[in-house]
């Protein structure tokens, strides 16, 4: 198994992460420079080239690889202008000189450009490219991808995963703990928003992150959505390795160092005895509302391996939510948990 | 002062559990803050997830009752209580109970709907 873990970007975090890194860790990734290109996620510290140089050296000294993530879903067409092309070419050239091991991009043009002009850099297709079928995977491999991070929506679709493994030779990566909503209606719009929020110039002055707030509200109203969302438990990595997929990426570069290293350890140990919410990225705001005893989910992978995704006919995830989810309540200066069914009048 | 600080998490928990009980559904109070603004208002603000505008319409009296109870508990005498929505959506994202300064009395308390994103729950 290879683990690919996030890094918030500042050098103190990198030192701590490297100090605690397990032997399963293969690559550490962070956002690139916002002056050049935005990113698909919240970026708290985006290092400039000097910092990337120092951190690359540091990571290599510790015998890990470094990945730079530059995966906005929208670049407003800038990449296809002469100015944009020259800027990206210059920047990727710098990353190549520095010795960065991989660059993750979502834009198909950048996949091909990196492949053609910087063959020393490993080209990784982002989860934001939504590779969810053998045909789409083949398409990106044809463009030159060395690795593809698969769409999280197929994390529990073993037939498609197997099909993709059959048709491409490149490395396949699974994002294990992103835990966005399954078939989220906001996914494209939210990534587009982040693309512009994380890039310099013309940043929209938004009154609210509508998609995030709506996402959290959905989960509060319908807690079964947390069970349906396609995270992969640390205990279930073996089911994917059996398909020939052994690279697992954890998300959460906007979280604290401790959170990142706790997730890393859970996936390295292939076991987590605690609240599953503590190791899921997207709904981490809800870790003080829901308690999901991870060990009580042992065996559910068997259902999901053959899941047809007709939730309206199945009801397995909803019943699982009712059975195991507990809700935190704070009374008399103490936190306790109540079963979901005591709070939710069905 | 410590007494007030201890009352804040208790009030957050009380608000959350009370709403859950009368609505019969999970609701999440992310944070409850006691604030003082530059203009001179003081108040309490609770960030909430899981509620929509129709909940306010159905349970308005219940919301006023619990916000009043918590206000009394922390020593606040609110002139105005309101819910804030996410503009353009059905989501309710915060409750505020506020003792108003003279300017805000004029700005906020003089109208039925002073801003499109605010739902006035109660005026003193």
Model confidence at A299: pLDDT above 90: yes
| Residues facing residue B119 across a β-bridge | B83
Percentage of chain A surpassing pLDDT 90?
85
Please tell me the distance from the alpha carbon of residue B116 to that of residue B118, in angstroms, as a whole number: 6
Q: What is the pLDDT of residues A162-221, one digit of tens each?
A: 999 999 999 999 999 999 999 999 999 999 998 888 877 778 889 889 999 999 999 999
Ordered domains of chain A (ranges, CATH): 2-274 (3.20.20.70)
Contact flag B13-A330 (C-beta cutoff 8 Å): yes
**Phi and psi, residue B45, nearest 5°:** -130, 130
Q: How far is CA A285 from CA A143, A279, A290, in A?
A: 38, 11, 10
Tokens for B1? 């002062």
Name which of B12, B27, B88 is nearest A220 (Cβ-Cβ): B27
Angle between helices A210-221 and A187-197 (to 10 degrees): 140
Name which of B6, B17, B91 is nearest A329 (Cβ-Cβ): B17
Model confidence at A226: pLDDT above 80: yes
Q: What is the pLDDT of residues A77-113, one digit of tens each?
A: 989 999 999 999 999 999 999 999 999 999 999 999 9
Assess contact for A211 and A194: CB atoms under 8 A: no
3-class SS of residue A188: helix
Contacts of A344 in chain B (CB under 8 A): 24-26
Name which of A285, A331, A344 is nearest B26 (Cβ-Cβ): A344
Nearest alpha-carbon partner for A19 in A265, A312, A231, A183: A265
Helix, strand, coil percentages (3-state) for chain B, rounded to 5, are 40, 35, 25
What integer is the mean pLDDT of A263-276?
98
Report the largest interatomic distance among the alpha carbons of chain B, rounded to a whole angstrom: 40
Within 13 Å and on the Cβ side, how many CA atoms surround A263?
Answer: 29
Instruction: List per-block mean pLDDT (blocks of 10 residues) for chain B, which spans 124 residues.
Output: 92 97 96 97 97 97 98 97 96 97 92 92 94
Contacts of B13 in chain A (CB under 8 A): 329-331
Q: Is B49 at the interface with chain A, CB within 8 A?
A: yes
Q: What is the pLDDT of residues B75-110, one digit of tens each?
A: 999 999 999 999 999 999 999 999 999 999 999 988
Chain A and chain B share a number of CB contacts under 8 A equal to 63
What integer is the mean pLDDT of A120-131?
97
pLDDT computed for residue B111 by the predictor: 86
Instruction: List Cβ neighbours of A295 (8 Å cut-off, separation of 6 or more).
Output: A273
Instruction: List Cβ neighbours of A314 (8 Å cut-off, separation of 6 or more).
Output: A307, A308
Name which of A210, A286, A331 is nearest B17 (Cβ-Cβ): A331
Contacts of B52 in chain A (CB under 8 A): 217
Contact flag A210-B89 (C-beta cutoff 8 Å): yes
Contacts of B88 in chain A (CB under 8 A): 210
Please tell me the distance from the alpha carbon of residue A191 to that of residue B56, in angstroms, as a whole number: 31
Report the largest interatomic distance among the alpha carbons of chain A, rounded to a whole angstrom: 64
Write the DSSP assignment of B15-30 as a string of letters: HHHHHHHHHTS--EEE
Contacts of A322 in chain B (CB under 8 A): none
Going from N- to C-terminal start, the domains of chain B cover 2-123
Assess contact for A38 and A84: CB atoms under 8 A: no
Please tell me the distance from the alpha carbon of residue A235 to that of residue B118, in angstroms, as a whole number: 46
Q: How far is CA A205 from CA A196, A313, B108, in A?
A: 10, 43, 24
């Amino acid at each position: 198994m290879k683990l690919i873990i996030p890094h918030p970007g500042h050098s103190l975090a990198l030192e701590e992460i490297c100090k605690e890194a397990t032997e399963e860790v293969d690559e550490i990734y962070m956002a690139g420079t916002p002056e050049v290109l935005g990113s698909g996620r919240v970026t708290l510290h985006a290092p400039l080239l000097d910092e990337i140089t120092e951190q690359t050296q540091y990571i290599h000294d510790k015998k890990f690889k470094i990945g730079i993530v530059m995966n906005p879903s929208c670049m407003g067409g800038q990449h296809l202008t002469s100015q944009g092309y020259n800027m990206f070419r210059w920047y990727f050239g710098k990353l190549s000189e520095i010795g960065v091991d991989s660059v993750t991009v979502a834009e198909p043009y950048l996949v091909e450009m990196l492949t053609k002009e910087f063959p020393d850099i490993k080209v990784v297709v982002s989860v934001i490219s939504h590779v969810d079928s053998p045909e789409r995977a083949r398409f990106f491999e044809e463009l030159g991808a060395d690795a593809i991070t698969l769409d999280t929506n197929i994390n529990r679709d073993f037939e498609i995963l197997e099909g993709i493994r059959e048709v491409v030779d490149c490395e396949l990566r699974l994002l294990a703990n992103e835990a966005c909503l399954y078939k989220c209606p906001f996914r494209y719009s939210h990534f587009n928003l982040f693309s512009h929020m994380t890039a310099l110039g013309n940043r929209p002055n938004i009154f609210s992150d509508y998609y995030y707030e709506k996402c959290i509200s959905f989960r509060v109203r319908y807690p079964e959505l947390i069970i349906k969302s396609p995270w992969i438990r640390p205990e279930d990595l073996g089911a994917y390795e059996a398909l020939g997929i052994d690279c697992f990426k954890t998300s959460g570069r906007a979280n604290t160092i401790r959170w990142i290293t706790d997730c890393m350890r859970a996936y390295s140990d292939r076991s987590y005895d605690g609240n599953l919410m503590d190791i899921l990225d997207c709904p981490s705001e809800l870790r003080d509302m829901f308690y999901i005893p991870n060990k009580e989910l042992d065996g559910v992978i068997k259902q999901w391996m053959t899941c047809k995704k007709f939730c309206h006919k199945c009801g397995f995830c909803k019943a699982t939510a009712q059975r195991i989810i507990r809700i935190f309540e704070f009374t008399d200066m103490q936190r306790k948990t109540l079963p979901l069914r005591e709070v939710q009048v069905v | 002062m410590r007494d007030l600080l201890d009352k804040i998490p208790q009030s957050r928990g009380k608000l959350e559990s009370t709403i859950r009980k009368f609505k019969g559904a999970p609701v999440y109070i992310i944070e409850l803050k006691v604030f003082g603004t530059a203009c001179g208002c003081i108040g309490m603000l609770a960030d909430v997830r899981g509620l929509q505008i129709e909940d306010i319409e159905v349970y308005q009296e219940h919301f006023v009752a619990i916000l009043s109870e918590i206000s009394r508990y922390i020593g606040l005498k609110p002139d105005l209580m309101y819910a804030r929505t996410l503009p353009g959506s059905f989501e309710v994202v915060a409750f505020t109970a506020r003792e108003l300064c003279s300017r805000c009395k004029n700005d906020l308390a003089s109208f039925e709907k002073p801003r499109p994103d605010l739902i006035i729950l109660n005026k003193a």
